A and B are shown apart, each in its own frame.
Chain A
Amino acid sequence: MDQGGDDRCHPVDDALAAFHGLPDIDRRNLANAASVLAARGTYVTREELISEAYVRMAEGRRLWPISQPFTAYFAGVMKSLLSDRMFLTDEGKVVRLKNKMSVVRPDDLPRVAANDDSEDLRNKALVEEIVSVLETRIAGDEDLELLWAGIQCDLRGKELQEELGVDVKQLATLRTRLNRHIDKICTEYRAKEGRS
């Protein structure tokens, strides 16, 4: 995490107040961030991520650093949950157990490693899952591939527009298209898992 040397934190009550005072734009963005993290199709839904991150914030188990904007902090808590052994649902544990017991296919290796190895390795594996699912989904759509490349170069706003050769409105449309892809991935996985 990029802490800029300041590791002081807000009191829990301030974090709760910040959450409840979020404008709708930020609330939507956080829900979309949860979708990205749930879009690797394993073990956990968007709702569960948001709910558990909220519980950890309210119980003071994850504090909000002074140096971070609130939404970045909250998204960070959700991201950290993905590699948290304690947070796996029973269903997720069963899936993992099955993975351990069955014959392992080569493309399952990152997931098996994710079960057994260090936090770093698990984190790396899950990030690879998210990225590969998303990249597969947008493959062939030149506009979105270009947008994805721009995001990876940390281009934002005006710079991103110039790089893609689009105006504000067209960028917003691209953004919406990307969000739709992510939402769709989540919905499909939920349907597969039999959740509603």
Chain B
Amino acid sequence: MGDSKKDAVDSLLEFILADDTPVGPEDAESLLLLQKATDDAEARLAKARLQRAREGVFAASMKQSVAPQGIENARKLYDRAKAGDLTAGLTLAARFGDGSMDGDLDAILEDLAELEADDDEEN
């Protein structure tokens, strides 16, 4: 706005975009450049779409893999094992007691519930 330097590039762009000289052999490089850049953009867009699709599939499979009841059973099993109940059929590594694994507990319980579900299917 009222900035003559800014107008300078805008004016130059306008001038260049208004060029109506027919395309000749000397323009081949420009056309190729635009094509290459467009191909690159399309490839990046396709990659992003694929990535989003993958994330969607992953999120969906995570959701349906374990029923809430399975998680609850796994938690009971875990609590028993932590309390030293040898009949729980579960041995916990020593580091479970020191709090360093607590952040991963949800994921561990999910894994455990999945294992239990697999066992149930087999029996």
Q: Point out residues on A near B: beta carbons under 8 Å.
A: 19, 24-37, 46-52, 54-55, 58-59, 69, 71-72, 75, 79, 123-124, 127-128, 130-131, 134, 151-152, 154, 156-157, 172, 175-176, 179, 183
Of the residues B7, B9, B17, contact of A71 by C-beta under 8 Å: B17
Interface of A is mostly: helix
- Residues on A with beta carbons closer than 8 Å to the beta carbon of B27: 24, 28
User: Which of B34-42, B53-61, B72-80, B101-109 is found at the contact surface with chain A?
Assistant: B34-42
User: Which of B18-26, B63-71, B84-92 is found at the contact surface with chain A?
Assistant: B18-26
A188–B36 Cα distance when bound, in Å, is 20
A69–B34 Cα distance when bound, in Å, is 19
Cross-chain pairs A/B with CB under 8 angstroms, 19 sampled: A28-B31, A32-B16, A33-B16, A34-B33, A34-B34, A34-B37, A36-B9, A48-B37, A54-B41, A55-B44, A58-B45, A71-B17, A75-B17, A79-B13, A127-B6, A127-B9, A130-B9, A152-B8, A154-B14
A159–B27 Cα distance when bound, in Å, is 26
With contacts A55-B44, A79-B13 taken as known, whether A46 is within 8 angstroms of B19 at the C-beta atoms is no
Q: Point out residues on B near A: beta carbons under 8 Å.
A: 3, 5-23, 26-27, 29-31, 33-34, 36-38, 40-42, 44-45
Interface of B is mostly: helix
- Are B15 and A131 in contact, with the CB atoms below 8 A? no
- Residues on A with beta carbons closer than 8 Å to the beta carbon of B29: 183
- Are B21 and A172 in contact, with the CB atoms below 8 A? yes
With contacts A24-B23, A47-B36 taken as known, whether A75 is within 8 angstroms of B13 at the C-beta atoms is yes
- Are A152 and B7 in contact, with the CB atoms below 8 A? yes
- Are A58 and B41 in contact, with the CB atoms below 8 A? yes
A19–B39 Cα distance when bound, in Å, is 13
- Are A25 and B23 in contact, with the CB atoms below 8 A? yes
- Are A127 and B31 in contact, with the CB atoms below 8 A? no
- Are B37 and A36 in contact, with the CB atoms below 8 A? no
- Residues on B with beta carbons closer than 8 Å to the beta carbon of A154: 11, 14
